[in-house]
Amino acid sequence: MSRLLAARLGSPLAARLAAIQSARLAAFLAAALLVGACGGAASPSPSPSPMPSASSAPATPRPAPIEGTLTVYSGRSESLVGPLIERFEAATGVDVEVKYGDTAELASTILEEGTASPADVYVAQDAGALGAVASEGRLAMLPSHVLDRVDARFRSPDGEWVGISGRARVAAFDSRAVADPDLPDSILDFTDPSWKGRLGWAPTNGSFQAFVTALRIVEGDDTARAWLEGIKANEPKAYEGNDAIIAALAAGEIEVGFVNHYYALRQAAEQGPRFPVENHFFTGGDPGGLVNVAGAGVLTTSANPTAALALIEFLLSDDAQAYFADETYEYPLVAGVEADDRLEPLDEIESPDIDLSDLADLRGTLDLLSEVGIL
Amino acid sequence: MTAAAGRLGTGVLRRRRAVARPPLGLVAVGLVIGVLAVTPLAYLVIRALEVEGDALAFVLRPRTVGVVAGTVALGALVAIGTVAVGVPIAWLTTRTDLPGRRLWAMLTIVPLAIPSYVTAFAFVAAFGPRGALHGLLAPFGVERLPDVYGLPGAVLVLSLAAYPYVLLATRAALLRSDPSIEEAARLLGDRRRDVLRRVTIPILLPAIAAGALLAVLYALSDFGAVSLLQFDSLARAVHLQYRASFDRSLAAILALMLVGLSLLVALAEGRIRRRAAAFAAGGRRRPASVIALGRLRWPAVAFCAGVVGLALVVPAATIGWWLVRGVAQGEVVGVVAADVAASFGVGATAAVVAVGLAVPVAVLAARHPSALSRTIARLVDVGYGLPGIVVALAVVFLATRLLPALYQTLALLVAAYAIRFLPLAMGTIRATLVGIGTGLEEAGRTLGDTPTDAFRRVTVPLLRPALLAGGALVFLTVVKELPMALLLGPIGFETLATEIWDAASAGFYARAAAPAAVLLVLSAATVALLLRAEEPAR
């Protein structure tokens, strides 16, 4: 299997990745067991893929174990991913050094560093940034057993990155002003004049722009333009980001805001159960219900691809996935791990079927936003 | 003019004499610093040349032109705002019997250390539509507050964040200026008010201009406040290109336009400085007589209190509120001691290095005015007008290619800070050098000192307040700096600023509050030390 994979991908790195699989998997299982022990009640994660036979790695008689150091560039902040990295270190003995930063700024950094980049793994908040780094040939192909952990919608079609957690676009609303059943099923219907002066959005925010890009891909530029113009006619308040929208909802400044789903849940956790902001999900394939991912990839110039791949496998383990569900209120992407019960199940949302990497191509969206006079 | 002024007092006005040829070593050091300061521009040009499509059309499209016009307005209004706040406070806290003036001096300088995005966030929370203030006023029938978003909000927040630059520069000038000129004017029959207008303010003008330059460049390069307050400045447009479309070429073109604006501001400051008479203090630091404010005492206190309320209390109260609310919900808050040490260590080192580098550039500019020395000073200034992310990516690009061994080391980070924030140290030092003049040093030389000895024994002690003020400015700016700390710091490098950002960007405000509070305390302590060292013994 490994040899097949290596032959198919044809890159030396992929060959190395494949050749070292068996030893790595053994070590990974040990890691998962250890993590399970750390996590208390959690059960050890099952093997992410069938064990390949040991004889399938003839190129290297003694495959490299998981060890050494690993450099991670993380666009996810330490509060969101730091504890998982610590668990991985404790389980494997790999010394992980993390550079935290803004997702897009780290993408630019990797591109400016070129082949001199010290990074082994790039963890990004959105697929667009992974797509931008991959499009300049900086991400290596991942083996299929890693990619197959998640649904095809949530990974690079070319196999250069894989989603590790999901975030749905929602309409967050002030529950003191409106009730969930009163909100339209489709985001397209918020252009109705009855919503005038009641909406908030964040036109400069990356996740909003990703949604507009998805809208253009799914419904065409004309529909996207009509929607933007329709919302603009309703005089929405513009905010810098999702958090500002949630704060404005809580303050009663607006009634509905277009955001990612987890912001309201995090604020509720910090501010108490009487927090008035709730989520309205767009289901049934509505373009409003775009599910974007935070994901990760291994750099082609990685000095330690074994440990790099092991980290990505770890982030896709059941325990790590449960961490995203319970601690950051995101969607776990691996089948069988339950999301927070306040979330609409991923299957019900039926996120529009598009290549999330395409969300990197924002030029058209930025042009459209400025043509309509929003940016 | 010179003859009349010469009679005025011990201060010697504008010594016009043949400019001494600068020592070669000084020129060499200046050139190296100038070249280092200009490296981000080289990177920007390289990236701008790669742009695909019609770059000129991009520059000339209405949206870009509108952003440039808005940025010019922002810069001009921040200049006015910071001078209107900074100069009166400087004068009140150095020359008058303002009650509690040392405390006011400290409280009005501390806001320098508050990251502008924290202030902006606090303003939106407090003064936004239906914010805390609206909540207080609503029972009295106030339906709507003036909009905090857009240009007015950006000008207000950035003026409150940047007026300490004007305040510190003006204070230093007031503390070193010789009161005998003002006393002479009084003796010649001028009223207090006229002395202020005809003597004190002209003496202060170079320092005010130097402070305003820093304030304007700060406003031009700021991203945090303009983004939260939704004002489209060039710096925000640059960020948008990086963040939204990963387009480094268009970002470079916008950044070069920002460089052009910064250059214009620097040129304007140079004009003001050259036109203003350089009143020399004879070198004695006799404290000025204290001016009794009389009936204006309490209005003056109210003014200081108002500024402190907006610039310090509003953001500090917001931080406190995050802390209290989070703790009430069971959040565990705390600060890592290593982060405090990292912030302090890097800030202090960068401050010392920046002051060390600023002295030769300032000596060149003040003592050996020439096209070359002016160019070096301008290049250094212009670099400060660039957003941190641009400087950081430029250093990433150049260091990985030219200095791979230094990439992501503390040494490189400190060097980058020292170069970028060198103008903060240089302005005050240069203004002070011009004020000191060369007469005393020449006297030292006639007594047998070498030029270096004379500089060290005569001029350096007189420069001390300026060196301290410059170093403190660099320190307070570095401890809150973010993009360069994130991208250029060694892996795993964490400071108070990165901790605040890390927590706040994920929406965990309670966890952001503790490091923010520590940052405030650290800054207040620094300012207190500075003030103690700065004031002449009475």
What lies within 8 Å, CB to CB, of B230 at 6+ separation is: A238, A239, A240, B149, B150
Q: Are A121 and A304 in contact (CB under 8 A)?
A: no
B498 at the A interface (CB within 8 A)? yes
Closest residue, chain B, to A251 (C-alpha): B130
A270-314: pLDDT as tens digits:
788 789 999 999 988 888 999 999 999 999 999 999 999 999 999
Which residues 256-275 on chain B approach chain A with CB closer than 8 angstroms? none
Q: Is A109 helix (H, G, I), strand (E, B) or coil?
A: helix
A47 and A143: one domain? Answer: yes
Q: Which residue has the higher pLDDT, A33 or A155?
A: A155
Distance separating alpha carbons of residues A372 and A248, to the nearest angstrom:
24
Strands A162-174 and A199-201: unpaired
What is the residue-level pLDDT of chain B in tens, covering all 538 positions? 344 443 343 444 444 444 567 788 889 999 999 999 888 899 999 999 988 777 787 788 887 898 999 999 999 999 999 999 999 999 999 989 999 988 999 999 989 888 887 888 888 777 766 566 666 666 676 665 667 778 998 999 999 999 999 998 888 888 877 777 778 888 888 887 888 888 888 888 888 998 999 999 999 999 888 887 878 899 988 988 887 767 788 899 999 999 999 999 999 988 887 776 555 544 455 667 788 888 889 999 999 999 999 999 999 998 898 888 878 877 777 788 888 999 999 999 999 999 999 999 999 988 888 888 888 888 888 888 888 999 999 999 999 999 999 999 999 999 999 999 999 888 878 877 877 777 778 888 888 888 888 888 888 888 887 888 889 889 999 998 988 999 999 988 999 988 888 887 766 777 888 898 998 888 888 888 887 776 654 4
Using alpha carbons, list the distances in angstroms from residue A241 to A207, B113, B241: 9, 24, 16
**Is B459 inside any structural domain?**
yes
A191 and A298: one domain? Answer: no
A360 and A341: one domain? Answer: no
Which of left, alpha, beta for B526 (phi over 0: left; psi -120 to 50: alpha)? Answer: alpha
Phi, psi of A168 (to 5 degrees): -95, 145
- Give the dihedral sign, CA B186/B190/B192/B198: negative
Tell me the two tokens of residue B368. 């050996």
Count of pairs with CB atoms under 8 A, one residue in A, one in B: 133
CB–CB of A108 and B393 under 8 A? yes
Q: Are B243 and A365 in contact (CB under 8 A)?
A: no
Residue type, A10: G
pLDDT given for residue A346 in this prediction: 87
A269 and A147: one domain? Answer: no
Closest residue, chain B, to A76 (C-alpha): B506
pLDDT given for residue B500 in this prediction: 86
User: Is residue B376 classed exposed, middle or buried when 0-12, 13-18 and 19+ CB atoms within 10 A define those classes?
Assistant: buried
Placement of tokens 């230093």 in the chain: B172
Q: Structural domain of residue B464, as residue ranges? A: 18-280+290-534
A123 and A107: one domain? Answer: yes
pLDDT given for residue A23 in this prediction: 45
**Is B44 inside any structural domain?**
yes
A354 and A326: one domain? Answer: no
Distance separating alpha carbons of residues B282 and B439, to the nearest angstrom:
8
pLDDT given for residue B192 in this prediction: 78
**Is B6 inside any structural domain?**
no
A296 and A286: one domain? Answer: no
Q: Structural domain of residue A140, as residue ranges? A: 2-166+292-346
- Name the minimum distance, in Å, from the CA of A168 to any CA of chain B: 16
Closest residue, chain B, to A267 (C-alpha): B507
CB–CB of B230 and A239 under 8 A? yes
A341 and A356: one domain? Answer: no
Closest residue, chain B, to A238 (C-alpha): B230
pLDDT given for residue A332 in this prediction: 96
Distance separating alpha carbons of residues A211 and B198, to the nearest angstrom:
61
pLDDT given for residue B13 in this prediction: 44
pLDDT given for residue A7 in this prediction: 39
A7 and A150: one domain? Answer: yes
**Is B445 inside any structural domain?**
yes
CB–CB of B491 and A244 under 8 A? no
B130 at the A interface (CB within 8 A)? yes
CB–CB of B508 and A266 under 8 A? yes
Placement of tokens 């609409």 in the chain: A344
Best residue of A72, A84, A102 to probe chain B, by most B CBs closer than 10 Å: A102
pLDDT given for residue A14 in this prediction: 46
A157-211: pLDDT as tens digits:
999 999 999 999 999 999 999 999 999 999 999 999 999 999 999 987 878 988 9
A302 and A361: one domain? Answer: no
Side-chain-facing half-sphere of B45: CA atoms under 13 Å: 6
Overall number of domains in chain B: 1
**Using 50, 70 and 90 to split pLDDT, how confident is the model at A238?**
confident
Contacts of B407 in chain A (CB under 8 A): 116, 118
Exposed e or buried b per residue across B191-219, where buried means at least 16 C-beta atoms within 10 angstroms of its C-beta: eeeebbeebbeebbbbbbbbbbbbbbbbb
Contacts of A108 in chain B (CB under 8 A): 242, 246, 248, 393
Beta bridge partners of residue A165, listed in sequence order: A294, A332
pLDDT given for residue B416 in this prediction: 94
- Give the dihedral sign, CA B63/B68/B69/B73: positive
**Is B506 inside any structural domain?**
yes
Q: Which residue has the higher pLDDT, B508 or A105?
A: A105
B62 at the A interface (CB within 8 A)? no
Percent of chain A with pLDDT over 90: 54
Contacts of B408 in chain A (CB under 8 A): 99, 118
CA dihedral in degrees (B503, B488, A136, B223; nearest 10)? 60
CB–CB of A112 and B124 under 8 A? no
CATH number at residue B384: 1.10.3720.10
Of A318, A344, A342, the residue nearest A332 (C-alpha): A318
CATH number at residue A337: 3.40.190.10
A 10 A CB-CB count for B453 gives 13
A143 and A234: one domain? Answer: no
Distance separating alpha carbons of residues A162 and A171, to the nearest angstrom:
26
Overall number of domains in chain A: 2
A12 and A152: one domain? Answer: yes
Contacts of A101 in chain B (CB under 8 A): 486-487
Q: Is B131 helix (H, G, I), strand (E, B) or coil?
A: coil
- Name the minimum distance, in Å, from the CA of A360 to any CA of chain B: 7
**Is B136 inside any structural domain?**
yes
Contacts of B240 in chain A (CB under 8 A): 204, 366, 375
